[in-house]
Amino acid sequence: MTDDHSTKRILFIVNPISGIGKHKGVERLIAKRIDKSRFDVEVVYTNAPGNATEISRKAALDGIDIVVAVGGDGTVNEVAAGLTGTDTALAIVPAGSGNGLARHLKIPMNIKRAIDIIGHGNILKIDTATINDQLFVNVAGVGFDASVAKKFAVAGKRGFSTYFRITASSYKNYEPKQYTLIIDGKVIKRRALLVSFANSSQFGNNTSIDPAASVNDGFIDVCIVGKMPEWKTIFLAPLLFLRKFDRTRYVEIIRAKEVILKRKKGKSIHLDGDPKIMGKELSIKINPLSLNVMVP
């Protein structure tokens, strides 16, 4: 970062198709709320998957002080991938469907207030993690939530209502899978609805399986979730929003630095909510304090 008394450079990277259209008018808000005497500002728009990583990586090499991800968790993921291990700070203007990392960091969902943080916020060093060398900053996983992420990505309409509809319609017929996990050298086997790797406490939309997760403790939290009977979901699902779901007998959480997950088939995973295809064996590692992030 440059000296506090010099003009700092900010690059806003806007994903024009993220979330539910909250990014609209962001340039006008930036012009109103960023102090031009303190900051040089540029705004760019992404045009393809992976484009935000290319842009942010070049920005870090060029010495840009702050790169702002305007979008959802997928956009944050791409921008963070270009900034991890550099001095350039990531800022977040939440404009997605879930906004999990932003919620964990208590960044306002209001775009005006989120932009204001850039002018007077603090820098926090946080952990990042990788699955088979692909970065994630919030939550990644396999199983049911990866299946839902795959369907959500092609659903057309974004937002919580679409995500809820896909989740509810898919749950009954989804069969738990068998997983072998080697967690810091210890082997365990579980039949699970899903296995999530949580860097933060937020799974998006204010839901949490792992309220105690921390973004700067040097650990990844392995969250193993069993499938509950369908009739119980109406009683237990609200606990996701009350941050008490981890107290049920359907959740097992193990803190780890390195994890190997083995499954019978190579298929979908998700990285910060975005679906990917990977093989039968997954290697998950934590990268302690590897990313600078602006927080309130």
Residue 244 carries which DSSP code? -
Beta-strand pair 8-14/39-45: parallel
The answer to whether residue 7 scores a pLDDT higher than 90 is no
Burial letters 261-287, b for 16+ CB under 10 A, else e: bebeeebbbbbbbbbbebeeebebbbb
What's the CATH number for 8-120?
3.40.50.10330
Residue 4: pLDDT band with limits 50, 70, 90:
low
If you average pLDDT over every residue of the chain, what do you get?
A: 89
pLDDT recorded at residue 22: 57
pLDDT recorded at residue 23: 57
Q: What is the mean pLDDT of residues 1-24?
A: 71
Residue 2: pLDDT band with limits 50, 70, 90:
very low
Residue 197, phi then psi, degrees to nearest 5: -115, 105
Residue 127, phi then psi, degrees to nearest 5: -75, 155
Q: What is the mean pLDDT of residues 39-68?
A: 94
pLDDT tens-digit series, residues 221-239 = 999 999 988 888 888 887 8
Q: Which two tokens stand for residue 182?
A: 């080697």
Nearest residue to 118 via CA among 53, 26, 231, 200 = 26
pLDDT recorded at residue 17: 73
Assign 235 to helix, strand or coil: helix
Q: What is the mean pLDDT of residues 136-143?
A: 94
pLDDT recorded at residue 19: 54
CA 286 – CA 136 distance, rounded (Å): 10
CA 119 – CA 37 distance, rounded (Å): 11
pLDDT recorded at residue 11: 96
pLDDT recorded at residue 257: 96
* Lowest-pLDDT choice from 30-34, 49-53, 203-207, 270-274: 203-207
> Would you kindly state where each structural domain of the chain is located, as residue ranges?
8-120, 134-287
Work out the percent of the chain whose per-residue pLDDT is above 70.
95
**One-letter amino acid of 152:** F
Q: What is the mean pLDDT of residues 154-171?
A: 77
Q: What is the mean pLDDT of residues 39-60?
A: 94
**One-letter amino acid of 197:** F
**One-letter amino acid of 120:** H
The pTM for the full model equals 0.89
Strand partners, 180: 189, 262
Q: Which two tokens stand for residue 55?
A: 């842009």
Work out the percent of the chain whose per-residue pLDDT is above 90.
60
Residue 59: pLDDT band with limits 50, 70, 90:
very high
For domain 134-287, which CATH number applies: 3.10.129.10, 2.60.200.40, 3.40.50.1000, 2.60.120.10?
2.60.200.40
In the block, tokens 């060398």 appear at: 133
